[in-house]
Structure formats: C-alpha cells, structure tokens
Amino acid sequence: MNRRLLIAGLLALFTAAVHIFIGTPEVHRPLLESLLSPELKLVLYACWHLVSVMLVFSGVFLLRACAASRRNINRELVIMLGLSWVAYGLVFFAFGVVYPGMLLRLPQWMLLLPVGMLCLRDAKVENRLQ
C-alpha cells in the first residue's frame, strides 16, 4: 500500500467533507440572497458544486491508486491531480497574502497544498524507482 497516496486520498476526502458540509451552508444563503443576477448566482453555485465533485473524485482516485500495484497506477493522473491541488492551494495562498488579514481567514491552502505535494512527491519517488 502506498502511504503517500493513502494520506493524500484521506486528506482529499476530508477536504471534500469540510467543503460540502461546512462550506456549503456558509456559502449557500448569502450567495442566493445576494443582489447578483439569478444567472450569475446559479453559475457561481454550480461552480461551488463542481469543486465538490472534483474534491470527491480526487480522493476516491487517490485511495484506489494507493492500493494498486505500481504498474497499475496512472502516474500522469497522479501528477495532474498533484499539480491541480498545488495550484488551487497557491490561489488561496496568494489571495490571503494580497488581501491583508485574509491568509488565516482563507485557510483552504492548508488542506490543498499537502494533498498536491504528497501526490507530486509520490510521482517523483516512483520515477526514480523505474
């Protein structure tokens, strides 16, 4: 069993649960009660749920990958997921730095970066073994 991908998968599913069960109620009402146009509200709300889907699918894939034999793991997909999670984390980190006082008020980067870094670290280690 691949421990890096196991930890990344569990952390990804934890992040998905926080996003869905804590974040959604926090975002739902203010967004839908805002003065934005109905179309824009629904596009933003759909984007929120697209993130939910990506977080869950990433976690499920990483858990499946952690149990697969080295030959059956799709390294390119692990790298793509790693790069995606790092990029997501860097976006939140950048917003937290650019907007004073927001780094800890937008703590998503603290969950996103470790998942991505574990995936990329695993891919780097596996490349050396081949």
Question: How many domains does the chain fold into?
Answer: 1
Q: What is the pLDDT of residue 1?
A: 85
C-alpha to C-alpha distance for 79 and 83, rounded to whole angstroms? 6
Which residues of the chain carry a pLDDT beneath 70? 70-71, 125-130
Q: What is the pLDDT of residue 68?
A: 78
Interior/surface letters 41-67, b for 16+ CB within 10 angstroms, e for the rest = eeeeeeebeebbebbbebbebbbebbe
Query: How distant, in Å, are the alpha carbons of 16, 23, 77, 103 from that of 110?
Result: 14, 15, 22, 10
Q: What is the pLDDT of residue 125?
A: 67
Residue reference for tokens 């146009």: 37
Q: What is the pLDDT of residue 38?
A: 96
Q: What is the pLDDT of residue 130?
A: 55
Domain extent for 87: 3-129
